[in-house]
Amino acid sequence: MKNTCMLLCIGLLTLTGSLVAQDAKAGPQMAITKGSNISRPADAPPPGVSVLYSNLGSKSDTYYDSEGWTISGPDSELGFSQNIAEPFTLSATSTVKGLQVAAQWAGGGTDNVAVALLADANGTPGKIIKVWNVSNLPTFGTCCGLVTVVDQAGISVTGGTQYWVAVGTDKASITAFDVWDYTYNLSTGTFAYEGTNTSNVWEVTSGTQSAFAVYGTTP
């Protein structure tokens, strides 16, 4: 668990106890807050499944709890919307039965978020396979609560094919101001963002990755 603030904090806007980049047209927007002393072990994964993909850390240092990509609805007090998606590819055809994401509520609007599994469309997030809306998120700056979603029947995914996990807002969370926290080791790689500054079209870029895990079974 870290509570440092990058030098890129210069020129940020203070809002609901967190910091958000002020220029919504400068690229994907990040949020920063002061880390809390509140800590608990990470939530357990869904029962009876295996880890298919994960960039989560240990149970006591699961993600970088004080910095992440902003998740905001079109009617949020930030004045712009933003959704984030992270790619993953499994080596074998598998059945996805659950996801965990380090999504947190930053204190603005409704305390909920949309989590989705998406297909790929020529290297960008494509068709929504399934979406969940989750309420009562962990508070931004604390560790190590996770948002867990489950599909009991399971969703078949093809080995060697790219898919995306997205965290964003839907009709139930259009006022929400949330954060998808970075990985515990600030790993970098490809991700996508969509919202006001992309004219609501997914744009693929590279930078610090958000923390998540995919669970299921492999025949």
pLDDT in tens, 122-139: 999 999 999 999 999 999
Domain assignment of residue 87, yes or no: yes
Please give the model's pTM, rounded to 2 decimal places. Answer: 0.89
Contacts of 41 (CB under 8 A, 6+ apart): 59, 60, 144
Domain assignment of residue 1, yes or no: no
Residue listed under structure tokens 């980049």:
21
Domain assignment of residue 81, yes or no: yes
Give the Cα separation of 78 and 64 in Å (integer). 22
Domain assignment of residue 203, yes or no: yes
Q: What pLDDT does residue 19 have? A: 53
Q: What pLDDT does residue 10 have? A: 21
Domain assignment of residue 212, yes or no: yes
The β-bridge partners of 83 are 194
**What are φ and ψ of residue 123, in 5° steps?**
90, 0
Query: pLDDT by residue for the chain (219 residues), tens digit each?
Result: 333 222 222 222 333 345 554 454 578 999 999 887 778 899 999 999 999 999 999 999 999 999 999 999 999 999 999 999 999 999 999 999 999 999 999 999 999 999 999 999 999 999 999 999 999 999 999 999 999 999 999 999 999 999 999 999 999 999 999 999 999 999 999 999 999 999 999 999 999 999 999 999 998
Q: What pLDDT does residue 5 have? A: 26
User: Residue 174: is it exposed, middle or buried by C-beta count within 10 angstroms (0-12/13-18/19+)?
Assistant: middle
For the chain, how many structural domains are there in total? 1
Domain assignment of residue 2, yes or no: no
Domain assignment of residue 65, yes or no: yes
CATH number of the domain where residue 177 is located: 2.60.120
Q: Which domain holds residue 105?
A: 7-217
